[in-house]
Amino acid sequence: MPLLEISNLSAAYGTYKVLENINLSMERGEVVSLIGSSGSGKSTLLRVLMGLLKPNQGQVTIDSQAVNYGSRASLKGIRDRMAIVFQQYNLFQNMDVLRNVTIAPVEIKKRPKADVEREAKAILDRVGLSAKLKSYPDQLSGGQQQRVAIARALALKPEILLLDEVTAALDPELVNEVLDVVGQLAGEGITMLIVSHEMSFVRKVSSKVVMMDKGQVVEIGTPEQIFENPQEARTKEFVSKILRH
């Protein structure tokens, strides 16, 4: 039984159809990567899943429970089960690292502060930041800040972690420290839906790669199938372009 199942999902910005008939499923522990040109709808798909844009057709089920994107209670349920990290890390500049990671579980989820802090310290250790608990965002590199943002998402104990180009804003020498953390989380069995242009990373961590184009899923396969033996013309073209250098 898939943890996440997306069926015939469509969405629009006004009259502009941005996602058309998306079908995709993910098992628990899988890492699925979305690839495709800029504007193909990858971010929009993550936004729809998080309830940030209402779909106009189709269904999403988590653990066989249908999500009702029109209902506040159902949306709240979604945000208990999925967390998203964006390219821009958006940390609270006036709070130290530990507070950035603990504030949502304590203030929004009303969990006991001592428990949350203990868990947050363990998570920050996993992302290699146990020495930075008292640092403020402007005292950290971009890679460290993005790792705080990942820790903040993990502190919400999501069943599925969504990552939208989390290394795209980083200087090249900081990309690997973030990808290493994401790769480690994959190894720990965290279920992730990833958008990334780091193709060698996508190839290494993904159980499935989803090629998107013009708001549609063009092809789904293992990394080997997509990168070495793509079947669809649009996948062939995309893969040949990105692997040329």
Ligand X SMILES: Nc1ncnc2c1ncn2[C@@H]1O[C@H](COP(=O)(O)OP(=O)(O)O)[C@@H](O)[C@H]1O
Residues that bind Mg ion (CB under 5 A): 43
Residue nearest to Mg ion (CB): 43
* Identified binder of ligand X from the candidate list 22, 31, 32, 42, rule CB under 6 A: 42
The site partner of 114 among Mg ion, ligand X, none (C-beta below 5 to 8 Å per kind) is: none
The site partner of 39 among Mg ion, ligand X, none (C-beta below 5 to 8 Å per kind) is: ligand X
From the list 25-33, 35-43, 56-64, 130-138, the region that binds ligand X by CB under 6 A is: 35-43
Per CB under 6 A, 44 contacts ligand X = yes
Rounded to the nearest whole angstrom, what is the least distance from the CB of residue 228 to ligand X in the complex? 23
Q: One-letter amino acid identity for 233?
A: A
Rounded to the nearest whole angstrom, what is the least distance from the CB of residue 202 to ligand X in the complex? 14
Per CB under 6 A, 191 contacts ligand X = no
Per CB under 6 A, 234 contacts ligand X = no
* Identified binder of ligand X from the candidate list 3, 9, 24, 41, rule CB under 6 A: 41
Cβ atoms of 3 and 24 within 8 Å: the answer is no
* Identified binder of ligand X from the candidate list 4, 11, 18, 85, rule CB under 6 A: 18
Which is closer to Mg ion, CB of 34 or CB of 151? 34
SS3 sequence of the chain: CCCEEEEEEEEEECCEEEEEEEEEEECCCCEEEEECCCCCCHHHHHHHHCCCCCCCEEEEEECCEECCCCCHHHHHHHHHHEEEECCCCCCCCCCCHHHHHHHHHHHHCCCCHHHHHHHHHHHHHHCCCHHHCCCCHHHCCHHHHHHHHHHHHHCCCCCEEEEECCCCCCCHHHHHHHHHHHHHHHHCCCEEEEECCCHHHHHHHCCEEEEEECCEEEEEECHHHHHHCCCCHHHHHHHHHHCCC
From the list 36-44, 69-77, 145-153, 179-187, the region that binds ligand X by CB under 6 A is: 36-44
Which is closer to Mg ion, CB of 11 or CB of 140? 11
Per CB under 6 A, 196 contacts ligand X = no
